[in-house]
Amino acid sequence: MGKTVVEKVLARAAGLPAVSAGDVVEPRVDVAMSHENAALVINQFLEIYEGTGVTAHPWDVSKIAIIFDHRVPAESPKTASNQKKIREFVDAHRISRFHDIRGDVGGICHQILPEYGYVRPGQVVVGTDSHTTSHGALGAFSFGIGATEMASVWTLGVALNVEVPPTIKIVVNGEFGPHVGPKDLILHVVGKLTAQGANFRVLEFHGETIRKMSTSGRLAVCNMSVEAGATSGIVPADEETIRYLREEAGVTDPIEPVVPDADAVYESVVTIDVGALEPQIACPHTVDNVKPISEVAGVRVHQVVIGSCTNGRIDDLEAAANIIRGKKVAQGTRMLVFPASGRVFQEALDRGYVSDFMKAGAVVMNAGCGPCLGVHEGALGDNEVAVSTTNRNFKGRMGNPKSEVYLCSPAVAAASAVAGVLADPRKGN
């Protein structure tokens, strides 16, 4: 019987000849990623060892990655103290994959992991962040876990009692129209499947549109697979994956793509043609409340946010810069740009995008999660509306339960900043 990608990855990681959906396995973990919530992971990790007389030391520090991104630079003494505690742990245990608050190697965890070649096809990746689904873009099985579960991984090196998830095959064909792209595709998928439609399942992406898509686009697609409830999104590794890892991430060691068998067993198959797809908007207050731009254009916008682990990469900034260049952010609207990493920021500087944004009146902030989760900066006033390239629009997500968030592509966000209302980038300004 043929196998899906996740079945093949978990069989290898569990040291078994084959596994099928529903089997329970203990896969070895290849990458264990945390951000500021490593502060809680450390607490739980030490508690596991408490009273045992055994010295607490992680199973393999070369597989742990810690990246500060949620609150950078620290917004409060409490956060600063958490970050300090993590630094001390990192030093004590010599964790080398540590990305502190820096302009050169800092950034959002879901950008740093691919950028530095930490993730490879066929790996098992866990992260204490729900958007860890992102790394399936490189052909890994990558899923979010809680802090206590991460403490368990740090102790044992395996993810305990993982049920092999069934897979939904998503086949995407057709060519995107102008100003339509990966973000519109994944918003459409989430709307179609609903917010819990893929709960406990993997989405495996296929079709000519995916094959032609850059790794950056695939990261956006896999990133938001969790918004349909998916354990992981996966794009089977191909030539583009190898190109990205070699040319952009500087990987020199062997890369072994894991691809599904032709007769792999899928729970269901969903086919999508993007040829006629309009820019898609997730309307307040659920990510599956998705409508085409034509139904919601004209909504007054107070704040535009471009960035995040979903859409803060260089091609996202390029799409926005191409629209806003030589224009102005509308009066009464503010636009905030957050590159996904220091490297992306540097490239945006080199290519002149930062200048394009600033001349238009946008504020370009340091790399990090920014206002996405409402903890740090870019708060919204009562009854204000944000249009954002981020991934969640839950009530209060950006910090104020009396505000509204519409999710969209970088092109829609930039066009909306110029228009001061939710706008269709295909119509010009």
Partner 1 sequence: MGKVAFVVGDDVSTDVIYPGRYMATVLPTETPQFAFANDPALNTKLNAKLVPPGSVLVGGKNFGCGSSREQAVSCLKGWELTIVASDISRIFLQNAINLGLNIITAPGVEAAEGDEVVVEGAKVVNRTTGKSWDVVPLPPARQAIIDAGGLIAFTRKRMLEARKKG
What proportions of the chain, in percent to the nearest 5, are helix, strand and coil? 40, 20, 45
Cα–Cα dist 191/278, whole Å: 13
Residues 67-86 that bind partner 1 (CB under 8 A): 70-71, 76, 78-79, 82
Residue pair 203/270 in contact by the 8 Å Cβ criterion: no
Q: Does residue 44 touch partner 1 according to CB under 8 A?
A: yes
Q: Does residue 16 touch partner 1 according to CB under 8 A?
A: no
For partner 1, which stretch binds (CB under 8 A), given 110-118, 157-165, 238-246, 343-351?
A: 157-165
Residues 189-208 that bind partner 1 (CB under 8 A): 195-196, 199-200
Cα–Cα dist 231/236, whole Å: 16
Peptide bond into 285 cis (omega under 30): yes
Q: Does residue 368 touch partner 1 according to CB under 8 A?
A: no
State which residue, 137 or 190, has the beta carbon closest to partner 1. Answer: 190
Interacting residue with partner 1 among 39, 108, 180, 249 (CB under 8 A): 39
Helix/strand/coil for 170? strand
The structure tokens 């810690």 sit at 66
Helices (H) and strands (E) in the chain, counts: 15, 18
Interacting residue with partner 1 among 375, 377, 420, 429 (CB under 8 A): 375
Interacting residue with partner 1 among 52, 55, 252, 331 (CB under 8 A): 52
With a CB cutoff of 8 Å and minimum separation 6, the contacts of 221 are: 137, 182, 185, 186, 189, 205, 210, 213, 233, 235
Residue type, 324: I
How many other CB atoms are found less than 10 A from the CB of residue 203?
29
For partner 1, which stretch binds (CB under 8 A), given 151-159, 216-224, 300-308, 355-363?
A: 151-159
Q: Does residue 103 touch partner 1 according to CB under 8 A?
A: no
Q: Does residue 135 touch partner 1 according to CB under 8 A?
A: no
For partner 1, which stretch binds (CB under 8 A), given 272-280, 331-339, 359-367, 394-402?
A: 394-402
State which residue, 155 or 209, has the beta carbon closest to partner 1. Answer: 155
State which residue, 47 or 60, has the beta carbon closest to partner 1. Answer: 47
Q: Does residue 37 touch partner 1 according to CB under 8 A?
A: yes
Residue type, 386: A
Q: Does residue 374 touch partner 1 according to CB under 8 A?
A: yes
Q: Kindly report the backbone phi and psi dihedral angles of residue 279, in degrees, each rounded to the nearest multiple of 5, phi listed first.
A: -55, 135
Residue pair 147/126 in contact by the 8 Å Cβ criterion: no
Q: Does residue 286 touch partner 1 according to CB under 8 A?
A: yes
The structure tokens 């001061």 sit at 420
Smallest gap from Cβ 264 to partner 1, in A, equals 22
Listed residue (288, 279, 280, 274) closest to 210, CA to CA? 274
Q: Does residue 397 touch partner 1 according to CB under 8 A?
A: yes
Smallest gap from Cβ 230 to partner 1, in A, equals 9
Listed residue (309, 385, 349, 361) closest to 127, CA to CA? 309
Cα–Cα dist 88/94, whole Å: 10
State which residue, 258 or 287, has the beta carbon closest to partner 1. Answer: 287
Q: Does residue 310 touch partner 1 according to CB under 8 A?
A: no
For partner 1, which stretch binds (CB under 8 A), given 155-163, 252-260, 339-347, 381-389?
A: 155-163
Smallest gap from Cβ 45 to partner 1, in A, equals 9
Cα–Cα dist 110/225, whole Å: 14
Residues near partner 1, by CB under 8 A: 24, 36-37, 39-40, 43-44, 47-49, 52, 54, 70-71, 76, 78-79, 82, 128-130, 132, 144-149, 151-152, 155-156, 160-163, 195-196, 199-200, 229, 231, 286, 373-375, 392, 394-397, 399, 401
